[in-house]
Amino acid sequence: MLDKVKSAAQQVGLWLKKPERLLDLTGILLAAYLVYVTWSFMGPLDLLHVILAGIFIFSALKIVYELTVNRINVPTLASGFFERRKMVEIVQRHAPRTLIDLGSGRGELTRHIARALPQAQVMGIENRLFPYLQAKVYQRLFGPKNLEYRQDDFFSYDCSAADAVVLYLNTKVAERAGEKLRRELKPGTLVVSNRFALGGDWAPAEILQMLFKAKLFVYYQNPKVFAD
Ligand SMILES: C[S@@+](CC[C@H](N)C(=O)[O-])C[C@H]1O[C@@H](n2cnc3c(N)ncnc32)[C@H](O)[C@@H]1O
């Protein structure tokens, strides 16, 4: 019995040691706190309180979902301010006519790129419905006109027409995406990956160090590999 308790305690200790588990725990505690705050807010049920409670509970559940169940998927986080600014600067220098964002989320990055490159056609591919719809509705309302979105799995989209590709995914998906891009892209195509190195035999032309150990990986498709 004592052994069982010891081994359970060890398991909990190991679990807590992993930084991502601590993040889970923080998320769950934060969510519980939001639910508690909501609960104490409620008092007599009127419409405003119901709406506030709805928003709080939705946010709490979303945090728990993103930090636990959805850990294996790519979150819909947008590239940070400094990374986005640098990515826009890099693609501007390359002056592509066609640019694709693989996993465009709610579209922040694509909007900035499309505005900075009015002569280019920019496309965001996003497989999840809500971020896709948010990006699409925003584009319909506020432009720019040289930007479009597609709801699709980018692994089944042929990227060979692109002159530049940007992406911000996770380690595993960026590895797979790299292999796909290596096979498909034409020589000289620029690829900028936020945070995660591409898989396949890509050699980065540049690795830019950003704040908080973040990195931008800059690649160019090489004619030799394309010819193979
Ligand atoms: C971290 S967000 C990046 C958003 C945007 N590119 C940026 O940098 O601001 C990554 C997005 O990629 C999407 N995604 C992941 N895998 C995908 C796939 N196979 N096809 C299409 N979208 C995908 C996720 O749903 C998520 O919204």
Q: Residues 88-107: pLDDT tens digits? A: 999 999 999 999 999 999 99
Q: Which of 72, 107, 125 is the last residue of a domain?
A: 72
* Residue 48 pLDDT class (50, 70, 90 cuts): confident
Q: Total domain count for the chain? A: 2
**Dist. CA 36 → ligand 1 center (Å):** 32
Amino acid at 23: L
pTM: 0.73
Q: Which of 38, 72, 106 is the last residue of a domain?
A: 72
- Pocket test of ligand 1: the residue of 112, 151, 169 to mutate, having most ligand atoms within 8 Å of its CB, is 169
Q: What is the pLDDT of residue 111?
A: 97
**Dist. CA 73 → ligand 1 center (Å):** 9
- In ligand 1, the atom with minimum distance to the C-alpha of 103 is 12
Q: What is the pLDDT of residue 57?
A: 79
The residue ranges of DSSP E strands in the chain, in sequence order, are 98-102, 121-126, 147-151, 164-167, 190-194, 206-209, 215-220
Q: Is the pLDDT of residue 68 over 70?
A: no
**What proportion of the chain, given as a percentage, has pLDDT over 70?**
81
Residues 145 and 37 in one domain: no
Residues 195 and 110 in one domain: yes
Residue 123's CB is within 10 A of a number of other CB atoms, namely 21
CA–CA gap between residue 24 and residue 218 (Å, rounded): 32
Residues 114 and 215 in one domain: yes
Which domain, by its residues, includes 140?
Answer: 81-227
Residues 19 and 102 in one domain: no
- In ligand 1, the atom with minimum distance to the C-alpha of 109 is 9
Residues 39 and 91 in one domain: no
Whether the ω angle into residue 144 lies within 30 degrees of 0, i.e. cis, is yes
**CA distances from residue 112 to 15, 83, 93 in whole angstroms, order as listed:** 40, 12, 15
Residues 184 and 166 in one domain: yes
Residues 105 and 198 in one domain: yes
Residues 108 and 159 in one domain: yes
Give the closest residue (by CA) to ligand 1 atom 19. 153
Supply the DSSP symbol for 208. Answer: E
Q: Which of 39, 54, 72 is the last residue of a domain?
A: 72
Residues 94 and 188 in one domain: yes
157: CATH: 3.40.50.150
Is the CB of residue 177 less than 8 Å from the CB of residue 157? no
- In ligand 1, the atom with minimum distance to the C-alpha of 107 is 5
Q: What is the pLDDT of residue 52?
A: 76
CA angle 7, 10, 12 (to 5 degrees): 115
Q: Is the pLDDT of residue 228 over 50?
A: no
Residues 208 and 126 in one domain: yes
> Tokens for 99?
């640019």
Mean per-residue pLDDT for 118-130?
94
Q: Is the pLDDT of residue 10 over 70?
A: no
**Dist. CA 108 → ligand 1 center (Å):** 12
Q: Is the pLDDT of residue 191 over 80?
A: yes
Residues 114 and 156 in one domain: yes
**What proportion of the chain, given as a percentage, has pLDDT over 90?**
56
CA–CA gap between residue 152 and residue 149 (Å, rounded): 9
Q: Is the pLDDT of residue 18 over 80?
A: no
Higher pLDDT, 210 or 11: 210
Give the closest residue (by CA) to ligand 1 atom 14. 103
**Dist. CA 8 → ligand 1 center (Å):** 38
Amino acid at 47: L
Residues 61 and 127 in one domain: no
Q: What is the pLDDT of residue 223?
A: 65
CA–CA gap between residue 80 and residue 216 (Å, rounded): 11
State phi, psi for 123 to the nearest 5 degrees.
-130, 135
Identify the residues whose C-beta falls under 6 Å from ligand 1: 74-79, 101, 103-105, 108-109, 125-128, 131, 153-155, 168-169, 173, 194
Scanning the structure block, which residue is given the tokens 């998927």? 73
CA–CA gap between residue 114 and residue 130 (Å, rounded): 21
